[in-house]
A and B are shown apart, each in its own frame.
Chain A
Amino acid sequence: MPDVKKVLVRVRVNGEAREAEVEPRTLLVEFLREHLNLAGTHVGCDTSYCGACTVILNGRTVKSCTLFAPMADGGEITTVEGLSKDGKLHPIQEAFAECHGLQCGYCTPGLLLSTLQLLKKYSRPTDGQIRKGIAGNTCRCTGYQNIFKSIRMAAAEMEKR
């Protein structure tokens, strides 16, 4: 057995300083869910395919099932819990609710964050840009049509503000 001394991981999650001592093999998604009690980020395929575990780390989306927690040490993380402000949904969340951009909702936390990253890059994305931007997020309910509608609506709404 190797020496599995626990490692202190310090991050800022949704603007708040958080820390926990974890085994090095703890995945970032487990760190968030099990150690910080932020269960909004989902474990989907657990093989770096489906994107349900997508979070934003230092301004970029990553699959949190494919990162060991110590690698994120010192980082700034946004999870789905960080999207709403003062009890009010983020425009992306409102658009997904309005356009039925989800059915079972399992993939939604990841899709919301991929959308946020996409709209930071392109304020009015083309269909091609949307397709490429969410290619790492799998949804098995909606057939994606309503997700596209949601993203277009969110883009229009965020441009107004």
Chain B
Amino acid sequence: MPETRVLLKHADDPALRTLAGYERYGGYSTLKKAYREMEADEVLTELEDSGLRGRGGAGFSMGKKASFLPRGDMKKYLCCNADESEPGAFKDRELMQRNPHQLIEGIAIAALAADAGHAFIFIRGEYDLQADILDAAVAEAYEAGYLGENILGTHRDLELVVHRGAGAYICGEETALLDALEGKRGNPRLKPPFPAVQGLYGGPTLINNVETLSNVPGIVANGAEWFKGFGTEQSPGTKVVSVSGCVRRPGNYEVELGVPTQELIYDLAGGPEEGREVKAFYPGGSSSPVLTAEDLDLPYTFEDMAAAGSMLGSGSIIVADDRVSIPHMALRTARFYHHESCGKCTPCREGTNWTVKMLERVVRGEATPMDLDIVASVQENIIGNCLCVLGDSMAMPVGAMVRKFRGEFEAVIAAAGREAVPV
């Protein structure tokens, strides 16, 4: 199965990273068209009609999100969420590294639609190379008059700042991102008010993921109908999918939404090594409830993943083959969320802590099968009870692993009781 490269088109050409290279492939022509010939409402309508769904995890309509921003003269902001930190996700890294100008053009056009005069790219601090590349690209765009004051003589202004985070998964949560950008500890805020109404510095703020914004130039250039020609009715467009774990060719592959998951894992990523089989996979990053080999033929869409009790999330598949111990994988997953919990609200802070402790007991053989019921009930008590989705993001996959692989958990408890297993 070949890839369908739209966002990653020409990404194999290192020159694409430069302004000259990007313009050679037609780059910034959409920005010119939008700024010179289009009204903000026209751009917004195109984005809404395209059905583009957020590529950061929630899958909410991008155009609708932008339309929630109030009209008026108040200062509005646009934040590009480049804090990609979900285990399994590395697609934004690729998009920023190989095609930074596509993102900048997308931000400028989306800012026009949202009437935002100040934009930020909040990039995780670990992505130092990509931040350097963005810094250079932003400088080039300013120099060329695509950013700054009076863009292309249209009397429209846009300031764009690349802001490096400093290592905290929680800052990918949009309200925590706003706090971090305001110079605070990255704690999530209570919602409502939603950022579209009251976001950065109290002003209306549009927050979109890197891949979402990278889709904007293509949609505005070719129209909503063109975009809907890819993918399914409910999941239009292409998706850059990160495939990793037990596969022979891990990497980012761009496909039309709706391709069978099997083809992504086997045809593109090479499948597990010879003689090995897929035992489980996270379809949408480590926060998504794991699916099993039986689910491999599901079309890779938001709706099909939801119907199977999981989610497409950020579009990151982690494959576990038959050698991987699910209880150990559950522990590894829980430890991550425990480490990254900001500690602001109780169900998440305590729930992740106790889940790690109980799963450690499981793999050490100190648990009883009854403890598995307690693990499961803790997860149920986390879901829906936290300020943000970080707690749920542990509870969903861990809950699914205990439910779907209970026999294996019981076997690990029994086996570990006989001999010490390193944790």
Q: Do A and B come from one complex?
A: no
Please give the residue numbers on chain A whose beta carbons come within 8 Å of chain B beta carbons, in ascending order: none
